[in-house]
Amino acid sequence: MSVKLECPFYDGPRLLPKFCVKSFLAPFETPVEPQFYNALKSGLVDLLGDQSIVASRVLTPYCYTLDIEIKLDEDGFVLPACHADDVHKRIAVCIDGSQRFAANAKKLLGKEAMKQRHLRILGYEVVQIPYYEFEKLKKKKEVVEYLHKKIFPHSYRLSW
């Protein structure tokens, strides 16, 4: 599957079909820590103004699970999660807890780095929210400002 995504031009020998991975399902993916997920989702709802805009645990065509997906129209406006037509940009928010990093380091595990690389190849804008940045935020306003800067770095917001 990695060869198909990363080297579509490759036409050399391949594994026999019985050995090929057709999707990356659990246990390949590391689950999100519930407390981290809930705090981040709450901040996103405050930022975006509506819970129906935030899609959680979205399955991609290659069976990667997105922690959170945000859809934008051509003008950059956020669309409801259930909206399927006229989606111009898809943002994959990766909520990267400590289990997704090497021990005592700020280096993503290989499987997580590969997932994010594959999501980019599939056309997603990937926004990484690492635990070591997020855990420094103490107030709700700090969380909302942080998420705004990470997800929408080129837009200006007048007030929260």
* Distance separating alpha carbons of residues 62 and 34, to the nearest angstrom: 24
Q: How confident is the model at residue 148 (pLDDT cuts 50, 70, 90)?
A: very high
Q: Render 99-125 in DSSP notation, one character per residue.
A: GGB-TTSS-B-HHHHHHHHHHHHTTPE
What is the β-pairing status of strands 55-59 and 89-96? unpaired
Q: Write out pLDDT tens, residues 85-101.
A: 889 999 999 999 888 98
Q: By the 8 A CB rule, do 54 and 47 touch? A: no
Q: Write out pLDDT tens, residues 32-67.
A: 888 999 999 999 999 988 888 888 888 887 778 899
- If you count them, how many residues does the chain have? 160
Give this prediction's pTM: 0.84
Q: How confident is the model at residue 24 (pLDDT cuts 50, 70, 90)?
A: low
- DSSP state for residue 48 in the 8-state scheme: H
